[in-house]
Amino acid sequence: MSSEGKTWVRMVTAQTPTNIAVIKYWGKRDETLILPINDSISVTLDPNHLCTTTTVAVSPSFDSDRMWLNGKEISLSGGRFQSCLREIRSRACDFEDKEKGIKITKKDWEKLHLHIASFNNFPTAAGLASSAAGLACLVFSLAKLMNVKEDESQLSAIARQGSGSACRSLFGGFVKWIMGKDKDGSDSLAVQLADEKHWDDLVIIIAVVSSRQKETSSTSGMRESVETSLLLKYRAEEVVPKRIVKMEEAIKNRDFASFAQLTCADSNQFHATCLDTSPPIFYMNDTSHRIISLVEKWNRSEGTPQVAYTFDAGPNAVLIARDRKTATQLLQRLLFFFPPNSDTDLNSYVIGDKSILKDAGIESIKDMESLPPPLEMKDANKFSGGDVNYFICTKPGKGPVLLADQTQALLKLLIVTYILHKKFSFEMLTILFAQNLFFNLKQVVVYGKAQISCREITTSLV
Amino acid sequence: MSSEGKTWVRMVTAQTPTNIAVIKYWGKRDETLILPINDSISVTLDPNHLCTTTTVAVSPSFDSDRMWLNGKEISLSGGRFQSCLREIRSRACDFEDKEKGIKITKKDWEKLHLHIASFNNFPTAAGLASSAAGLACLVFSLAKLMNVKEDESQLSAIARQGSGSACRSLFGGFVKWIMGKDKDGSDSLAVQLADEKHWDDLVIIIAVVSSRQKETSSTSGMRESVETSLLLKYRAEEVVPKRIVKMEEAIKNRDFASFAQLTCADSNQFHATCLDTSPPIFYMNDTSHRIISLVEKWNRSEGTPQVAYTFDAGPNAVLIARDRKTATQLLQRLLFFFPPNSDTDLNSYVIGDKSILKDAGIESIKDMESLPPPLEMKDANKFSGGDVNYFICTKPGKGPVLLADQTQALLKLLIVTYILHKKFSFEMLTILFAQNLFFNLKQVVVYGKAQISCREITTSLV
């Protein structure tokens, strides 16, 4: 490993989307390799609104592998992280940057330590597939760092070992995770069915639903379902294979009616197998049920589906509207029935692509309060505020990207500052980087405790 | 038809229990004959706490068939009522009461009209199987009135045509509805597996849960499940037959662990097939889910099931405790987590067999409020009042009974008063009869609008 002294740092930053399954993955045939009992299909969500950004850094000055998630150090000792690190390291290739005098051989990678900083631009524990985006981003950025030659599908088989659904986040648009047959899992990987431009009419609104109950983790939930649900085996073997064929066809033909019918039926069947588990698992709550009723009634009144719904291992609704006009009408319905708490402002109640809100003619809480009841549910009651925490407006989006060098310039400067002066904590810097990468400096949207204004920090740095 | 003038009335009063399925009936193979797609097994509930009382009267002075339910006249024109009336009339036999000079031949029954008054001693629309008890009672009382010779199983095949689960209310204890094979439904009937004395340790607590949602009727719900749920067919053909065998064995051996495991799993699977229906059907709500969690956690902490839960087509929980001691502990847990609204008194919050409440050491709201949290859920929060409307404490009970003549004396007197003087409305009288038959005069428990004190009316009569 050539280097002048031990001060160099090689860094890569990548951004990876989340995804939402429309034909669900539930149940593993191999717990260690994370091999599923059926194929699944997902839609990748626009990384502008939901993504993970990860900076991976390698330096001879690092004396152990460390990782920070949303600015907080987390353990890398888990079997799943270790699987991903091991698999990527074993595929690492020679790397040389003559300008900086960095040369790393295939063998060096085994000894060099990593610092990894990951940031989600959305709440981590809210059931929004943060682990899918996170593990996909970890694998993708490490692969770039280590000059790994494998393509996205081959990388997806590694990401799969970190978190099953992560493998589907290696592509944009519409993605299929092929369950595979091999015992070693080498053929259990993701392929792209169509990119996000293939069907760009679709608009997605996510309702982040309040929950009083602690949820069963999907890992233990699916293990219990495999062990105890008599319906799950039948679903995986008899129902899903036929649905996969139909869903591929629906996506190919941009056939929204079939797409919506299959998406809703498969979400419901997944939750049915959770209920058939012993002890039963409830991910949806009364608010989820009400959102389903609202969509079902509207779809029926229109005679053909306007909106598809799907729910992962939590109460949040992911609603896919056939087009922008429908999405506008959907948002009006959602805001009519699920007003915010009195202390919530509109700006933080509807986030993501706010142009839908504008199209819906809603610019203030007052506009929202004067919304008329939808024709098909004239007599239905509004619900009290607070059942939904907020809505995210988004759309199908692109796959992982490596962030360009100019954005990294700041990162490098700051990392060097950190290493030499230890002036800022690494955690704080990584938050800054991550935010700086995808938020306009004028408009820093922050979540939870990690409230840091990029403007403030950059100012103090200058 | 011999009679002196047209003033005679022949009357029969019967009382029939409700039942709760522990292996569920969901789905018909024949909608008109009400033939199910699988066998089911139920526990009959003690008629002291949940039953229908029906008085059927025949008189040459009646000029049409009429029926009153809980004091309100209802239409008899429905196909299901007509099926029951037709089937019973076709089996009517000669009847003679020499003392009163009444002689009715087989043929007379076709021309004579009926007045039927039915009363439930529990809320009718609260999802407590009122139609099962009601139709069973209609068929049973008409059969007695018309001197029908068929046994209970044969009568159950008639009651089945009124409401599927009604057939299981023709017996006490533990009852199996055999789905049968014949196209005409003649072999689709109920048989008793064991009477209520066979396993008299069991104690049942029903939580009547508040609901904001209008529920799908079980008739249309099961039709939609048959048409759209891919899991239902598999359940009916592959899962239920094995469970029926195991459940019969568990009941025979009074094996509570197996009984509870099967009961809970089958309730959950029934609701899973509802969720797998398009559009999905939700009968359980967040309160139902919380009751399940409470029971599951307790059962797990004890290492062996203490309580089984089962839910019909609504959010109400039917909880079966292994014995009286367990039921006492269960009631303490339920009252700890689900306190009443501040304006509800204990006496109307826990009804039925109040001795369980006494065993639990709870004689006032204050006693309830000072209940300690259960050991296995020390850190769990209480829920706000009002999630549960009230609890009914009961146990497995006996089958239909014909009410003795002395109780009918008053009925006859009053009916004659009615016919001759039209002083009281027939509706009011029937409520009086019904209440008088199973409530102590000192303690009239009344529900909803039908608030009539027996004492008042009898006083005014005297």
Q: Is B434 left (phi over 0), alpha (psi -120 to 50) or beta?
A: alpha
Answer whether A313's CB lies under 8 Å from A271's CB.
Answer: no
Q: How far is A231 from chain B (nearest CA, A)?
A: 7
Q: Among A239-248, B284-293, B378-387, where is mean pLDDT lowest?
A: B378-387
For residue A395, give both structure tokens: 């759309």
* Bond preceding residue A279 cis, omega within 30 of 0: yes
What is the band of B462 on the pLDDT scale with cuts at 50, 70, 90?
A: very low
Backbone dihedral region for residue A222 (phi beyond 0: left; psi -120 to 50: alpha; all else: beta) = alpha
pLDDT at site B213: 67
Query: Measured between CB atoms, does B440 come within 8 Å of chain A?
Result: no
Cβ B286–A212 below 8 Å, yes or no?
Answer: yes
Residue B275 touches partner A, C-beta closer than 8 Å: yes
Q: Please tell me the distance in Å from B265's CA to the nearest CA on chain A.
A: 7
Max mean pLDDT among A51-55, A359-363, B397-401, B447-451 falls in B397-401
A311 SS3 class = coil
Q: By the CB < 8 Å criterion, does A382 face chain B?
A: no
Does A296 contact chain B (CB < 8 Å)? yes
- DSSP structure string for A114-171: EEEEEEESS-TTSSS-HHHHHHHHHHHHHHHHTT----HHHHHHHHTTT-GGGGGGGS
Give the per-residue pLDDT at A416. Answer: 44
Please answer yes or no on whether B269 and A276 come within 8 Å at the CB atom: yes
Residue in the block written with tokens 């959602």: A334
- Choose, out of A269, A292, A294, A384, the residue to mutate when testing the contact with B (most B CBs < 10 Å): A269
User: ipTM of the assembly?
Assistant: 0.87
List alpha helices for A229-373, DSSP H.
Answer: 230-234, 240-252, 256-275, 286-302, 324-337, 346-349, 355-359, 365-369
Per-residue pLDDT tens digits of chain A, which is 462 residues long: 544 455 678 888 899 999 999 999 999 999 999 999 999 999 999 999 999 988 888 888 888 998 888 777 899 999 999 999 999 999 999 999 888 889 999 999 999 999 888 888 877 666 777 889 999 999 999 999 999 999 999 999 999 999 999 999 999 999 999 999 999 999 999 999 999 999 999 999 999 998 776 678 899 999 999 999 999 999 999 999 999 999 999 999 999 999 999 999 999 999 999 999 999 999 999 999 999 999 999 999 999 999 999 999 999 999 999 999 999 999 999 999 999 988 888 989 999 999 999 999 999 888 988 888 898 888 777 777 789 999 999 999 999 999 865 445 445 444 444 444 444 455 555 545 544 433 322 222 222 222 333 333 333 332
Structure-model confidence comparison of residues A58 and B443, the more confident one? A58
d(CA B86, CA B114) in angstroms, rounded, equals: 12
- Taking contacts as CB-CB distances below 8 angstroms, the residues of chain A near B296 are 279-280
| Interfacial B residues in 183-212 facing A (CB < 8 Å) | 212
Between the ranges A411-415, B261-265, B433-437, B443-447, where is the mean pLDDT highest?
Answer: B261-265
Of B213, B271, B290, the CB nearest to A275: B271
Q: In this structure, are residues B31 and B161 in contact, taking their beta carbons and an 8 Å threshold?
A: no
* A242 touching B (Cβ < 8 Å): no
The one-letter code for the residue type at A195 is D
Which has more confidence, A373 or B70? Answer: A373
Give the pLDDT of residue B59: 85
Query: B128 by DSSP, 3-state: which?
Result: coil
**Helix, strand, coil content of chain A in percent (nearest 5):** 40, 20, 40
- The token pair that represents B99 in the structure block: 């003392």
Chain B residues near residue A23 by CB distance under 8 angstroms: none
**Taken in order B74, B77, B82, B85, is the CA torsion positive or negative?**
positive
pLDDT value, residue A101: 86
Give the length of chain A: 462
Assess whether pLDDT exceeds 80 at residue B348: yes
The pLDDT confidence band at residue B214, using thresholds 50, 70 and 90, is: low
CB pairs < 8 Å spanning A and B = 89
Q: What per-residue confidence (pLDDT) applies to B369?
A: 86
- Looking at per-residue pLDDT, the higher value among B151 and B368 belongs to B151
Q: Which of residues 398-417 of A touch B (CB under 8 A)?
A: none
Indicate the residue of A235, A264, A300 with minimum beta-carbon distance to B231.
A235
pTM of the model: 0.88
For B114-150, the pLDDT digits (tens) are 988 888 887 766 677 788 999 999 999 999 999 999 9
Cβ of A238 and B234 within 8 Å? Answer: yes
CA distances in angstroms from B346 to B351, B368, B426, listed in the order given = 9, 9, 34
String of DSSP letters for A354-375? THHHHHTT--SHHHHHTPPPPG
Phi, psi of B102 (to 5 degrees): -100, 130
On whether any CB of chain A is under 8 Å from the CB of B271, the answer is yes
B268 touches chain A (CB under 8 A): yes
d(CA B328, nearest CA chain A) in Å: 23
Convert the pLDDT of each residue in B252-278 to its tens digit: 999 999 999 999 999 999 999 999 999
Task: Mutate one of B229, B275, B285, B381 to test the A interface: name it (highest A CB count within 10 A).
Answer: B275
